[in-house]
Homo-oligomer: A and B are copies of this chain.
Amino acid sequence: MIHKMVVQFSKLLGNLVPILDKAAAHAEAKKFEVEVLLQARLAPDQFNFIRQIQIACDTAKVAAARLADKEQEVPPHADTEQTVAELKSRINNVMAYLGTFSEADFADAAQRRITTPRWKGKWLSGEEFLLQHAIPNLNFHVITAYAILRHNGVEIGKKDFLGEMPYKE
């Protein structure tokens, strides 16, 4: 099931691409530069939209890499995005990286000891890290980015965040 969760990381990031298109269309219709939205935030001491997307991307790539014990191979990103096109490129790049993982990569992930430099030697099991840290963190930054646009009048709804469901008849 851990690989499926990583696939879901990719889905949540991918859903941001049409949301970015709606942000660009809104700015064009209202005749302002879309970069105004990209710099927006909900509070003065909150990261802006661009930073929310960057952190969401990093949360997903690093979580997958840590769970698969491939942290040395995680692709770097310079956090230099300033435009919709650059944000889409970042998202697509991380989705491509997430797509390189298979179920076998996560065979030992639930029990793996996960740590980060910030935790000063403390650790979580892979399962704890995934459920209590990675998933809520990724959702936090994706939904905060969504909320920044929603507050600024972009015509998006929860379905844009959730994406398509694989309904069967």
Contact = CB atoms under 8 A, between A and B. Distances in A.
B110 A133 contact: no
A165 B121 contact: no
A121 B166 CA distance: 13
Interface string A31-67: 0000000000011001000000000000000000000
A114 to B, nearest CB: 10
A154 to B, nearest CB: 9
Nearest to A144: B147
B1 A122 contact: no
Contacts of A11: 132
Interface string A1-42: 100110010011000000000000000000000000000001
Nearest to A46: B150
A140 B161 contact: yes
Contacts of A127: 1, 4
Contacts of A110: 1
Given A1-B127, A42-B42, A139-B140, 15 more contacts: A1-B1, A1-B110, A5-B131, A8-B131, A8-B136, A11-B132, A42-B150, A42-B151, A123-B168, A124-B168, A132-B162, A132-B166, A136-B162, A137-B158, A151-B151
